[in-house]
Structure 1
């Protein structure tokens, strides 16, 4: 039987539609397939196709300091897959906090085995042990240590915020760390901003953050439109010419220029209990929670349809009486359903689908998840490598030298057998 020879373009078109799990298996077909799948152009093509077609998307679920992180496929939302943590044997049984995710990469903060009250003290007084992790390829990379560069005041312990995202201009993944020591009573604010580059595997000091961060989630920023976003107040702003009065805004850090700018809230928010930002459908999203007379909790959810344009804020959900919201510390919108008529919400450790037409919510029951989840977000399977200068390893083989040689020999054998057919 004559063999059929496929053109490289057709092979690439077929492969980009596959899952990461299948692609990792197909690396063994031949040297040329391995080279194609490992190439940066194909990795970007596969990622772009997954995002544009909403394939290979999932939700990650985690409870702070818990040993397990779970992944749930968005198309089914029925069963969860437990993900193996990165690193060597010293990480077995250790919990992690998810500080952010972007294009299939996670930033994890390793937690100590200490009681919860001590953990709450430690979370603001640490020299963090941070990992970059791609659970799809099972690769991880421990970031270089980076101590806080100033001595906080006794009356004001340091608070730490992170943000993680991709800069297409420099083709680099960046982690931003903001450390602030502040006291509203004595009108005091000190800050330090460090930026880690995956491409160089170094931390760099950047211009101080000119806002007082008041983000309720404490850990991670919202990544949208090539920028990281935090909820802030201008109350303690120093030498920032655009703000003469005290009010709340969303501060953004441009990952390309590494400059700051501000995005204003909708005018009609009024007095609210809390606000939470997120990204949904590629747009900046805002949740405002109120306490109204005769209503335990009222919730409004807005999206910014045109980024940076204040007038484009559009309210998509307004709930006055909804039992599942009443005891929740916050409501976090995650994504639209495929036909756009429902919104998946994270409420008080549980997931709900809210119907935009009927204005009713249905709880999403996921098997195999034995806890209420604190850290919830969306992610996409990807082949994005961890190509910093530090050591890289997978879960089963930290050094990887012999494995690489064996894989090369295996590819040679398979390649010869395929050409002989």
Structure 2
């Protein structure tokens, strides 16, 4: 049935047709074309298909730098309630934190140098699966006892399959943030001249379909980002985020993005956008994520990181061009902003805390500590990125004293969302992950 015929159908008839589709068929139908996607999304709250697909933003999972606590910062109108993780078969759920999320599934791990406990969780259904230990892999020509960074990323696409995959990336040790653990002699001078990423980049991949880890080589198309020696001092954040878009995985590594095409096991290197007037000694912070039209990148830079640039990755005709969407001065926007808590503010709950307490607007005591009056904050603050709205051109920030905000690209409107407060007024967010609820996916341990 073409769209012209669909538009002639009465709304109740069309709704009845959609109710007859199974969850997987409904997801596939969304991918046919934009008009079909709009028709289905406009009726996603029908009882037959409510919450089956990841179509709305419910909140953010955030991880604290100080104590590795995982918080769930949720919208007031979100019907999905995420509780404590005490139903997992572990005596130490507190040490599990979020490593990644994708379309409603969440990847948990223990943030240690050699983590031995990874789980994939669906917070809606409370189903989870424990991954088997993964095979360790050392970078080519690297000393066996040298520290090496490894990051895990989750891929789940209910429009393609009910199964998920976990990708484990290794990268070159870097000196930017972890000088105390990096071995400066990890590579011989000749090895430092080798290109990175390599022409054949071997990843460890776990599949829920086979329930085992496999090694998969991905072949590079185009130029490398640089040499192994370049990567040792390249800019790199504490947590490198990823984005999944149209069967490709985009991973932030060092100062570039790796675009993995999962259908043909090839990859490309895309340099991160920076800007001619942004100095590297400003220690800019990039955030990679998915939003309304595809893959986006945000950059915090300048004094107190109050400068924000937002780009969209244009991939038309195979080109990889970063198009600047916005260049914002948050200092001007926030200077006289009334940070008064409202009745519909978002709330925070720690999901791996011992008592699972809820951090509600009681955090307002921090507001008065940093205000010249009840409504206006003195301009002594910094901001960090929480991430993009997956389906609308909105980006979320958090201030150094716990207040969170949303900035809309098109209207340039900034909205106060509530307190994302940690143990203290300067508690930092180490990682943040947009959560889109979904009832699909096959998880085995407690089905």
TM-score by length of 2: 0.59
Find the counterpart in structure 2 of residue 260 from structure 1.
Answer: 267
Residue 9 to residue 86, structure 1, CA distance change in 2 (3 Å): farther
Give the equivalent residue in structure 2 for 1:403: none
Question: Out of 13, 38, 58, which is 2:18 matched to?
Answer: 13
Task: Measure, in 1, the Cα distance between the counterparts of 2:236 and 2:68.
Answer: 23
In structure 2, the partner of 1:119 is none
Residue in structure 2 matching 1:179, options 170, 174, 181: 170
* Cα distance between partner residues in 1 of 2:396 and 2:420: 17
Deviation at 1:107, TM superposition (A): 0.8
In structure 1, the residue matched to 2:244 is 223
In the other structure, the counterpart of 2:99 is 99
Q: Unmatched 5+ residue regions in structure 1?
A: 1-6, 17-35, 112-122, 234-247, 395-421
Residue 437 of structure 2 aligns with which residue?
Answer: 381
Summarize the Cα distance change of 1:374–1:280 in structure 2 as closer, same or farther, 3 Å threshold. same
SS of the residue corresponding to residue 90 of structure 2 reads helix
Contact 1:177 1:194 in 2 (8 A): yes
CA contact (8 A) 2:404 2:420 kept: no
Q: Structure 1 residue 329: deviation in Å?
A: 6.6
Give the structure 1 partner of residue 389 of structure 2.
Answer: 335
Q: 1:201 and 1:140 mapped to 2: Cα distance?
A: 13
Following superposition, the deviation at residue 383 of structure 1 comes to: 1.9
How many Å separate the matches in 1 of 2:264 and 2:86?
32
CA distance in structure 1 between the aligned counterparts of 2:382 and 2:271, rounded to whole angstroms: 26
Q: Which residue of structure 1 lines up, in the alignment, with residue 209 of structure 2?
A: 199
Change over 3 Å in CA distance of 1:163–1:110 after alignment to 2: same
Q: Residue 85 of structure 1 aligns with which residue?
A: 85
Q: Specify whether residues 343 and 220 from structure 1 end up closer, same or farther in structure 2 by C-alpha distance, changes over 3 A only.
A: closer
Q: TM-score, length-normalised on structure 1? A: 0.62
- 1:392 is displaced (CA, Å) by 1.8
Q: For the residues of structure 2 that align with 1:278 and 1:319, how far apart are their CA atoms? A: 21
In structure 2, the CA distance between the partners of 1:302 and 1:172, relative to structure 1 (3 Å rule), is: same
Q: Which moved more, 1:282-291 or 1:211-220?
A: 211-220
Instruction: State the partner residue of 1:351.
Output: 404
C-alpha change, 1:76 and 1:321, in structure 2 (3 Å) is same
Secondary structure of 1:393's aligned partner: coil
Distance in 2, matches of 1:380 and 1:250, equals 23
What is residue 286 of structure 1 aligned with on the other side?
297
Superposed displacement of residue 287, structure 1: 1.7
Stretch moving more, 364-373 or 166-175? 364-373
Q: CA deviation at 1:333?
A: 3.8
Distance 1:347 1:108 in 2: 26
C-alpha deviation, 1:299, in angstroms: 2.0
CA RMSD of aligned residues (A): 4.4
CA spacing shift, 1:56–1:225, aligned 2, 3 Å:
closer
